[in-house]
Amino acid sequence: MRGETWVDADIDELCLSFLVRQAWLNMRGAMDGALSGLGLSVAQYASLLVLADQPGITIADLARAVASTRQSANELLAGLADQGLVERRRHPTDGRSQQVFLTDAGRERLEEARPVVRERERELEAGFSQEERRLARQWLRRMTGDQPA
């Protein structure tokens, strides 16, 4: 722990969570930088991905899909709606909820963003083998709590 940050073998074993935090912060910075030209944050990009995969998802389900709260999801959607990238419609059978859809502009923005993000992430991972990448993802998925021991 003599460098700029304490990303060091010893400290990793004392607070692994913080290493993950720093990885996330740096990746977020890199992705936000890459996406800024498209007017998107990484959180917005991720939400567009979910919406592309699940058209008509409700705000509550979107929140769950991105491990967030309904309030946060709704606020983020408001920003995307302001950009004309998503639209919210009354749910056809559930009077409590709304369905969210990508607009054409939203789909186009997403298609523009994908290669940008993929390229940046590929750069970050340069030098790691396919197997090492697979292992890293497996490890991360475990850390998300979605894959039991």
Interacting residues with a second copy between 81 and 120 (CB under 8 A)? 114, 117-118
2 or 90, CB closer to a second copy? 2
Terminal Cα-to-Cα distance of the chain (whole angstroms): 31
Binding of a second copy at residue 128 (CB under 8 A)? yes
Name the phi and psi angles at 66, rounded to 5: -105, 20
| Alpha carbons within 13 A on the beta-carbon side of 110 | 22
Could you say whether residue 30 binds a second copy (CB under 8 A)?
Answer: yes
Task: Please give the Cα distance from 81 to 87 (Å, whole number).
Answer: 6
Indicate whether 130 belongs to the interface with a second copy (CB under 8 A).
no
Residues in the chain: 149
Q: Which of residues 44-83 bind DNA (CB under 7 A)?
A: 58-61, 63, 67-72, 74-76, 79
Tell me the number of residues near DNA by CB under 7 A: 24
Output the six-digit token pair for 46.
Answer: 């991720």
Instruction: Select from 68, 20, 51 the least CA-distant residue to 113.
Output: 51
Q: Which residues bind a second copy (CB under 8 A)?
A: 1, 3-7, 9, 11-28, 30-31, 42-43, 45-46, 49-50, 53-54, 64-67, 114, 117-118, 121, 123-128, 132-133, 135-137, 139-147, 149
